Structure 1
Amino acid sequence: MMVGRGHRGRPSGGGRVGRGGRPANDLPAVDDLEAWLAGRLPDGWFVGTPEVTVDREEILIVGQLAAPEVEGDAAARAASAVGRISRFREESREDRMEIARQAEHRYGRKVAWGARIADGDGGVEELFTTLSVPVMTRLRQPERRVLDTLVDAGVARSRSEALAWAVALVGEHTEPWLAELREAMSTVDELRTRGPRLDPLSASSDALSGATAEEIPEETPEEQDGPGGDQA
């Protein structure tokens, strides 16, 4: 099962608030998501293991379906693939909703689904209802002019749609580089989990109990002059 990610379920940027008011740093880790899905998904749903992509807000599960056996050209095969995906979507709806509910409770993220059927002509892929998350940003005038040009030219209907178009374009043309970044972050996360873990309170207690008498000076009453003190 291939698990893509937005930083192993532990997003960067301390203090940011995620879905439902939960601080982003408090999101549950998804280290065992692959194993959980392997045991939870019904047998026979997909050909092989599904592709799973995770970010701070959503878990996207896309599975490969068996291609229908039909004769005809590429258009006929594509039509049969669309029909098979639609059939899977309807027949699996209740089970998918229950799995999504359990996964959301366990991992603190919404779950979206998709299916694909591959053939020699590239195949068909369809994503079912997925989460659309607003991303707030501030842009200076040269950046706003880029968006306005896309809107004025009819490429996008609004600035927000133009920004989404630009992000999709960057993702399409820089995917190898982005994949290297994700892989590098996965390596960092794996190394971090292998490191020693020390309870700060336990460490303080151990350090104090191991101190010698010389390291912890004995408190003595302060010397006083005058009444009640030493008399000359």
Structure 2
Amino acid sequence: MHRGWHGHGRGGRGPGRGGWQQADLPGTEDVEAWFAGRLPDGWFTSAPEVTIDREEILIVGELAPVEGEYADTDTGRAERAAAAAGRISRFRESTRDERIEIARQAEHRYGRKVAWGARIGDVEELFTVASVPVMTRLRQPERIVLDTLVDAGVARSRSDALAWAVRLVGQHADEWLTELREAMAKVDELRSKGPTGDSDPQ
């Protein structure tokens, strides 16, 4: 399953040079198929979730559930979560060398770093996820919002506060963001078709 900014033509969408298109980035149209063919059989129970932006490809796969009976109590749920976390940790360690090699090949092919993650039920852990600095200018009212989050202990710094705010928007505006991405994909499709160049009526 794929989510996030999926590249069309040459590169992913996003503001910057070239408008929506990033002409200096390789395309990612076949990224899911490439990983499906490259990942070892048995790593995940189903096709992994693939998220792409201009800097990173994130692969998150579902692992086999942990065995054992856990009571439907706070203690039982905590034990089940701990068992899932242990299995995810084992997967991370046992696949490290091969994941590094796959990431190296994918970085060469797609021009982006590769990050990994695994989940079992509602327990999820991300590995080696890139932290990319983003330059921005904020006016005083916006800075005050960030400083309030810092002063309240919600964030350790303005950059942490900004990341927290972005996550919050993503959680509460998912439907709107999905519609926006679909509209952008349609714009890309129309842009790639271009005018026919035939102005004579038929």
Q: Same fold (TM over 0.5)?
A: yes
Aligned-partner Cα distance in 1 for 2:184–2:194: 19
What count of residue pairs does the alignment treat as equivalent? Answer: 187
1:82 aligns to 2:85 (yes or no): yes
Give the 5 Å matches for 1:92-111: 92-111=95-114
Partner of 1:58: 56
Contact conserved, 1:28 with 1:108, CA < 8 A, in 2? yes
Write the letter of the residue equivalent to 2:43.
W
User: TM-score w.r.t. structure 2 length?
Assistant: 0.85
| Equivalent pair of 1:7/1:182 in contact (CA under 8 Å) | no
Query: How far off is 1:197 after superposition?
Result: 9.8
Q: Which residue does 2:136 correspond to in 1?
A: 137
AA paired with 1:154?
Answer: G
CA displacement, residues 106-126 of structure 1 (integer Å, 9 cap, x when unaligned): 0000000000011xxxx2000
Q: How does 1:76-225 map to 2 (within 5 A)?
A: 76-118=79-121, 123-193=122-192, 195=193
**1:48 aligned partner:** 46
Distance 1:68 1:31 in 2: 34
Compared CA separation, residues 45 and 109, structure 1 to 2 (3 A): same
Q: Deviations over 1:54-89 (max 9, x none)?
A: 000000000000101112222221111111101110
Deviation at 1:186, TM superposition (A): 3.0
8 Å Cα contact 2:116/2:129 also seen in 1: yes
Instruction: Tell me the SS of whatever aligns to 2:188.
Output: helix
- Unaligned stretches of 5+ in structure 1? 17-22, 204-232
2:68 pairs, out of 42, 63, 70, with 70
Distance 1:197 1:105 in 2: 34
Q: Say whether the 8 Å CA contact 1:12–1:25 is kept in structure 2.
A: no
**More moved, 174-183 vs 109-118:** 174-183
8 Å CA contact 2:45, 2:63 repeated in 1: yes
Q: Structure 2, unaligned stretches of length 5 or more?
A: 71-75, 198-202
**Structure 1, residues 34-59: CA drift from partner, whole Å, max 9, x if none?**
11111101011101100000000000
* Code of the aligned partner of 2:174: E
Q: Distance in 2 between matches of 1:81 and 1:137?
A: 39
Identity %: 69
> In the alignment, which residue of structure 1 is the partner of 2:12?
10
Change (3 A) 1:191 1:51: farther
2:6–2:29 contact (8 Å) kept in structure 1? no
Q: CA deviation at 1:10?
A: 2.8
Shift of 1:191: 4.8
Does structure 1 residue 36 correspond to structure 2 residue 38? no
Report the RMSD for the aligned CA atoms in angstroms: 2.2
Alignment partners' CA distance in 2, 1:109 and 1:158: 28
Q: Deviations over 1:127-170 (max 9, x none)?
A: 01100000111111111111111111221111111111111111
TM-score, reference length from structure 1: 0.74
